[in-house]
Amino acid sequence: MSQVNAIGLNSAKSEDIVASLNTLLSCYQIQYMNARGFHWNIKGRNFFELHIKFEEIYNLLLEKVDEIAERILTLDGAPVHAFSHYLEISKIKEAQNISDGITAVENLLAGYSTLIQMQRDILIQAGNANDEGTAALMSDYIKEQEKLVWMLKSYLD
């Protein structure tokens, strides 16, 4: 008989999901700081629209950072919380000294593509563990971000 955690999920499978969620959390933290930096440093003809859009994006990212950390805790895990650790395990790299709108949008688009792929992988992992809570969270994120990717791509066309 397998050991289960407080919410009735297989503990070993939950530990694997926690590891994946911590990598995802790290990616979100870097994507958040990138969006924040773009918001602060954007220049040029599209300053006003991009300044507002980047603020909207970093607020959405920050909300998800908290939700992912709380999901990790729900699964009896511990969310990573040091930026040195984020930088070490994130699949998204930090962007520095970007003030050009096109470059900033391209960077965000690449980051969201990474997040979506990771979330699809976690969705499968959660499904295999009967972890409906994590699966629902990933599904909601994917739906929202696919639309955002379309919009960012449209901005670049």
pLDDT at 1 over 90: no
Q: Are 133 and 74 in contact (CB under 8 A)?
A: yes
Token pair in block for residue 70: 């709380």
Q: Each residue of 47-103: pLDDT tens digit?
A: 999 999 999 999 999 999 999 999 999 999 999 999 999 999 999 999 999 999 999
Rounded average pLDDT over 113-121? 98
pLDDT of residue 2: 63
SS3 call for 10: strand
User: How many CB atoms are located within 10 Å of the residue 75 CB?
Assistant: 24
pLDDT at 31 over 90: yes
Furthest C-alpha separation in the chain:
63
The alpha-helical segments, DSSP class H, found in the chain are: 11-41, 47-74, 83-89, 101-128, 132-156
Rounded average pLDDT over 131-154? 98
Tell me the sheet residues that pair with 10.
Answer: 4
SS3 call for 100: strand
Rounded Cα distance, 90 and 8, in Å: 29
What is the topology classification, in CATH, of domain 11-156?
A: Ferritin (1.20.1260)
Question: Which position has the higher pLDDT, 20 or 1?
Answer: 20
Domain segments of the chain as ranges: 11-156
